Amino acid sequence: MRIEIYARQGCHYALADFFCFHKINYLLGSSFRRVEVSASLREGSVLLVRGPSGSGKSTLLRVLSRLQELVDGQVFFRGVNMFSFTPQVWRSKVHYVPQKPAVFPGTVHDNLLRPYSLRINRSKEFNLETIQRALDKLMLDFNIMEQNAGTLSGGEAARIALLRSIILSPNILLLDEPTAALDEKAKQAVLGLLTDWLEQKPDRGIILVSHTDESTTFPSANVLEIGR
Ligand SMILES: Nc1ncnc2c1ncn2[C@@H]1O[C@H](COP(=O)(O)OP(=O)(O)OP(=O)(O)O)[C@@H](O)[C@H]1O
């Protein structure tokens, strides 16, 4: 009950209490520059995060995925405070896909399989048909599965990192410039996949940091401006 009350106070302006953060404060790197932001995300929707370079957009995503401490403020998923979850459970719900894709030793197949070795994902199914469909949508050939992940191009590695998150079916995707390394056609493919992903199931949302205007793809998206 206490959690409910906090949720309403913290995010009372939210259209729905799906995911929201209220007056969260965080430091930029080791400097004393501090950012304070509030925003909310409706189920099935996108929150676009904009702001000048160095304003703290990537840091916000790190804070929301609990890779960096917040100084103050509250974050809620369905009215439950972020700190009520263990970091592992929180990160299985809220996935961060960094700007520089993480590439692990081994093939692309090994890279996609890697998160399933974590206890939190053991009950999840690694489904090759789903992967094949997603690779198609991302304009990648299924043969890429056997390629050494260290040899992927920047744009390929970005799409594989996104796919690795998507197949685990989190509730919230925190995406940092997911199309920055892509040409226009591949960019549209990624945005199409994200649109489909949002529509496939309820209980999903995306927070998207992007320097390009994605509001035509996601016309109902809320926008959070940082550092203006
Ligand atoms: N680990 C760190 N150590 C020191 N400074 C850091 C660290 N991480 C971030 N910063 C600084 O914090 C500020 C915000 O960085 P952040 O990456 O969040 O910005 P951004 O808005 O995402 O920028 P961009 O649009 O260029 O990607 C920058 O000035 C950056 O140099």
Structure tokens at 221: 């998206």
Distances in whole angstroms, Cα of residue 149 to Cα of each of 72, 106, 157, 179, 214: 39, 6, 7, 19, 29
Q: What is the DSSP letter of 126?
A: -
Structure tokens at 118: 């974590």
Residue 44: the pLDDT is 93
Ligand 1 proximity of 28 Cβ (cutoff 6 Å) = yes
Residue 216: the pLDDT is 81
Ligand 1 proximity of 51 Cβ (cutoff 6 Å) = yes
Ligand 1 proximity of 101 Cβ (cutoff 6 Å) = no
Instruction: Please write down the HEC assignment for all residues of 98-162.
Output: CCCCCCCCCEHHHHHHHHHHCHHHCCCCCCHHHHHHHHHHCCCCHHHHHCEHHHCCHHHHHHHHH
Q: What is the assigned CATH class of domain 2-225? A: alpha beta
> What's the gap between Cα 129 and its chain centre?
23
| Interface confidence (ipTM) of the complex | 0.94
Residue 12: the pLDDT is 54
To test the ligand 1 pocket, which listed residue (26, 27, 48, 59) has its Cβ within 8 A of the most ligand atoms? 59
Q: Which residues of the chain have pLDDT under 50?
A: 1-10, 13-15
Q: What is the DSSP letter of 114?
A: G
Tell me the C-alpha distance between 145 and 109, whole Å. 5
Residue nearest to ligand 1 atom 7, measured at CA = 29
- At residue 224, φ and ψ (nearest 5 deg) are -115, 120
pLDDT digits (tens, 9 = 90+) for 159-185: 999 999 999 999 999 999 999 989 999
Please count the other Cβ atoms lying within 10 Å of the Cβ belonging to residue 51: 18
Tell me the C-alpha distance between 124 and 119, whole Å. 10
Could you tell me the distance, in angstroms and rounded to a whole number, from the CA of residue 113 to the centre of ligand 1?
30
Residue 214: the pLDDT is 81
Ligand 1 proximity of 57 Cβ (cutoff 6 Å) = yes
Ligand 1 proximity of 210 Cβ (cutoff 6 Å) = no
Tell me the C-alpha distance between 42 and 221, whole Å. 9
Q: How many CA atoms lie within 13 A of 49 on its CB side?
A: 27
- At residue 97, φ and ψ (nearest 5 deg) are -115, 105
Ligand 1 proximity of 155 Cβ (cutoff 6 Å) = no
Tell me the C-alpha distance between 89 and 43, whole Å. 19
| Tally of residues, the chain | 228
Domain limits, the chain: 2-225
Cβ-count burial of 127 within 10 angstroms (0-12 exposed, 13-18 middle, 19+ buried)?
exposed
Q: What 3-state DSSP class applies to 130?
A: helix
Ligand 1 proximity of 32 Cβ (cutoff 6 Å) = no
Residue 31: the pLDDT is 73
To test the ligand 1 pocket, which listed residue (33, 55, 175) has its Cβ within 8 A of the most ligand atoms? 55
Place of tokens 């405070």: 81
Could you tell me the distance, in angstroms and rounded to a whole number, from the CA of residue 130 to the centre of ligand 1?
35
Ligand 1 proximity of 29 Cβ (cutoff 6 Å) = yes
Could you tell me the distance, in angstroms and rounded to a whole number, from the CA of residue 30 to the centre of ligand 1?
10
Measured over the CA atoms of residue 197, residue 201, residue 202 and residue 204, the dihedral's sign is negative
